[in-house]
Structure 1
């Protein structure tokens, strides 16, 4: 069945462009999605970790301030209430985050406090007093109805606090009281704003959560969710001590790209186990990727239409001169330097097919045979390395070049230590495979303008271009690298083989003997290496 050239070209162009567009859209979409996931997820994880560290650092600083304050002489018996009140109010003035600070005696009576709030009240039954008797106490976020009323919350809501309390010791080292403080939880909003505001400028729809270790309660987050229990998978991952990111689905509906971090304290502050979770809806995170995919698809369809038209015009242009191909083929057969297109798919060129196939086939076979014969004459059949003939040809050019530049050639004559044992134990097939791997490793140790030649058996010669000043040092570096490479295990058909190599080296200089003498000296140095313990390099200076 013969097809119209115009139909074939326009259809083929359109189909190819559509297929390429679909492939590119799929590949680029996947790559872009992976890149977006990694970039945004890593950013969210980093911000979560930074916020977690800020929260822990803040609590460490505040607990340290309370502990330092408790060491002052003003808290030693007898207690000067006026002085203590002054210190506590000064602390609150300097750090407004301390909404209430009080000094309690050993029975829980409030002896002094900021703004005299709760002064004279006994709070011995509260954890802030009881736990402080055992040591430094830091309590998680909680409501304090009484303090909220006394402090008159501007919003009318019950205030939330974090407790910090430490025992006060007298001069004899006995507990004489407790210094307790309530920190307003509102400071966490400042930490949130300092991190989330710039993050939201870059990423839309970002939500931040701080979750308590106790009951998985949301301490900080969107107002509608504060106080509720979180069950996200990211929370469980964070509790294992990880700080990373993941894609999670909430209630089988919305997907989120989520970064998380676990607060494990700061320096000597053990932390309260708060988990920071920062997430962004996946549809927002990947919106640029979806836009890119749509752009590629639309562009591809437009390009398919354009190229279909181009194919239609191109086919009409090509079909007119097809009859001239016969005359061009005859010129090519007679030796003229011309280039012709060929095709056997259309009626118009069926007359030319036999002539073109014969001509191209004959030329290709002749060229392939000549190339093969030349290649076989200069390369070792087993390893593919240059043979002695190729080495001689290389040396003719290398010597001429070295004389012009006044540089040297370093010869490394080497053979394998333990190769006969491999051949005897595993057979020649394994031995041949070993030689092929050795050839590969030798090529890996040399530069493109140098040569590795196989002389036969397990003997190889490497010729290096070296400087006039330090040829032996440069050759020794390469030889050491070769010995190290050869000493590495070689895995062949499940067998781990080990061989070594001995190297003899000699340096040819433009003022010295010919390269044949230098190679002989390298060969003699090789046998010195083998007699000296093998797996080493020996230099023999050229005379």
Structure 2
């Protein structure tokens, strides 16, 4: 039974394109997912850290302002109430975030306060006084029922505050009172806006949470969740002090989110209140571009499969007509003689073409192997098998391009054996050749795979090292010292212990410096300096 080549080829094209599309969709989809996870996750983690740092920096700044204010003479006994009132009101006027600031005597009586709120009242039972008497105190976010009734509240929402209080000391160190302040928690909304607004311009449906260490209470976030307890595993990860991101599931629907988190561990001498910042985005939203990419690949694959099937149909028809001439020509080119086309019961044309092309490929492969061998011989030293000067030039062309991209350097080590001539003269050239082969092996053992050891002739070698931009000489010196130590070890040839030394000249090439020819010349000059100054050492020359 004969199969129609046109049908077979068009079907094969279509199947291959569909399979390739599926493979590409899987590979690109996975890689894109990982890339998006890393990109967005790192962005969310960075924003969480930035917000955490801003919150701690804000509290550190306000605490410092209250501490500085407490040192002023107006709050020393006897208290200058007029001056104290003026300072407190000025602080509130300059920084409206201070909703109330008051000075309390050692018994908790309010002697001076902004807008005279709570004036003459005793708040000795409040933590802001009790803890402030002992030292600097920063209280977590809380409600203040009494103060909320006395302060203006146009929004009608429950007011929340953060406390700061510091003791006021006499010159002898005695506590004479406490300077206390309530900060409106609304300032955190400004920090949130400064972080989230630009973030939402880039990422859709982003949610931000600030969670208190006390009872895991959500201090800042979507209105319906503020004041509730957060039980997510991400919070526990943040509490370890890590700043990273993860993909986790939340809620009854087990919806996945890409989540960045950070932990507020303070700023400078401010220890922090242990607030955790969590910023998350629904995974479906985060990976929407990946899903769209997969759909586009699938649609493109289907269209390509149809196009290639049609193309295969016409190409097959075009191939069949000259098929016999192609096979005859291929056989003539490969054997030099006319060959009768063998008969075939199935896939006749394909069988004949396959056999003919196989002959041609075998012939070309043999020729290519010969050419490859000849090319390889032209680039290597016959004695040691090391790259020669031509191979060195080709290596440098690629190495320079790579170093310029990486903003790194190349270190040139120009080597010459000390005492090699004596070995040749006393033990013969065969021993000298064996010595050079062992030296080549030891040099290769001192370098990495992406570096080169080349023999320029005689007992001269060049080693090219990939070194950093910051300390290339130190790195090159380490390798050079290792080479000298290796060469100095005895070399046993036909029962003879042979000792030779190694002088090294070195120069560093950088992307902003001279070309490699000049660097090699400088390394050569440095080699002769090593020779003249005692041999068996390394000398550096700086490239221009």
TM-score (norm 1): 0.71
Q: What does residue range 28-427 of structure 1 map to in structure 2 within 5 Å?
A: 28-251=28-251, 253-325=254-326, 327-329=328-330, 331-332=332-333, 346-348=347-349, 350=351, 361=362, 365=366, 368=369, 384-385=385-386, 412-413=416-417
Q: 3-state DSSP class of the match of 2:178?
A: strand
Larger CA deviation: 4-13 vs 181-190: 4-13
Structure number, greater radius of gyration = 1
Cα distance in 1 between the residues matched to 2:477 and 2:68: 67
Shift in CA distance, 112/370, structure 1 to aligned 2, threshold 3 Å: closer
- Aligned 8 A contact 2:384 2:440 in 1: no
- Alignment RMSD (CA, Å): 4.3
| Conserved 8 A contact 1:442-1:482 | no
CA distance in 2, matches of 1:257, 1:309: 44
> C-alpha offsets along residues 166-213 of structure 1, whole Å, 9 cap, x if unaligned?
111234432111111111111111111121111111111111111111
Q: Hey, what's the Cα distance between the residues in 1 that align with 2:195 and 2:132?
A: 33
Aligned residue for 1:435?
441
Secondary structure at the counterpart of residue 40 of structure 1 = helix
Query: Shift of residue 347 of structure 1?
Result: 0.7
Q: Judge conservation of contact 1:144–1:158 (CA < 8 Å) in 2.
A: no
Which stretch shows the higher mean deviation, 78-87 or 173-182?
A: 78-87
**2:504–2:537 contact (8 Å) kept in structure 1:** no
User: Distance between the aligned counterparts of 1:346 and 1:244, measured in 2?
Assistant: 61
Contact 1:445 1:478 in 2 (8 A): no
Shift of 1:377: 11
Task: Write the distance in 1 (CA, Å) between the matches of 2:175 and 2:215.
Answer: 33
Contact (CA 8 Å) 1:483, 1:501: kept in 2 or not?
Answer: no
State the match for 1:20 in structure 2: 20
Deviations 1:266-322 (A, max 9, x none): 222111111111111111111111111111111111111111110111000110111
CA deviations over 1:351-381 (Å, ceiling 9, x no partner): 6776665666566557756876897899789
Distance in 2 of aligned mates of 1:180 and 1:214: 22
Structure 1 323/215 Cα, relative in aligned 2: closer, same or farther at 3 Å?
Answer: same
For the structure 1 residues 374 and 150, does the alpha-carbon distance in structure 2 shift closer, same or farther, using more than 3 Å as the test?
Answer: closer
Q: Which runs of 5+ in 1 are unaligned?
A: 337-342, 395-409, 417-430, 466-476, 490-498, 507-521, 539-543
Q: TM-score, normalised by structure 2?
A: 0.71
Deviation at 1:219, TM superposition (A): 0.8
| Pair 414,40 (structure 1): closer, same or farther in 2 beyond 3 Å | farther
Give SS of 2:173's match.
coil
Distance (whole Å) between structure 2 residues aligned to residue 500 and residue 263 of structure 1: 64
Match in the other structure for 1:400: none
Tell me the distance in 2 between the aligned counterparts of 1:370 and 1:198: 61
- TM superposition shift of 1:441: 4.2
Secondary structure of 1:179's partner?
Answer: strand
Tell me whether 1:502 sits opposite 2:508 in the alignment.
no
Deviation at 1:162, TM superposition (A): 0.7
> Structure 2 unaligned runs (5+)?
338-343, 392-413, 421-436, 465-474, 488-497, 506-523, 540-544
Q: Say whether the 8 Å CA contact 1:91–1:98 is kept in structure 2.
A: yes
Distance 1:107 1:463 in 2: 85
Between 1:299-308 and 1:1-10, the stretch displaced more is 1-10
| Cα distance change of structure 1 residues 319 and 216 upon mapping to structure 2, 3 Å threshold | same
Query: Residue by residue, what CA displacement relative to the aligned partner does 1:441-462 show, whole Å, maximum 9, x if unpaired?
Result: 4996558xx6467x9xxxx653
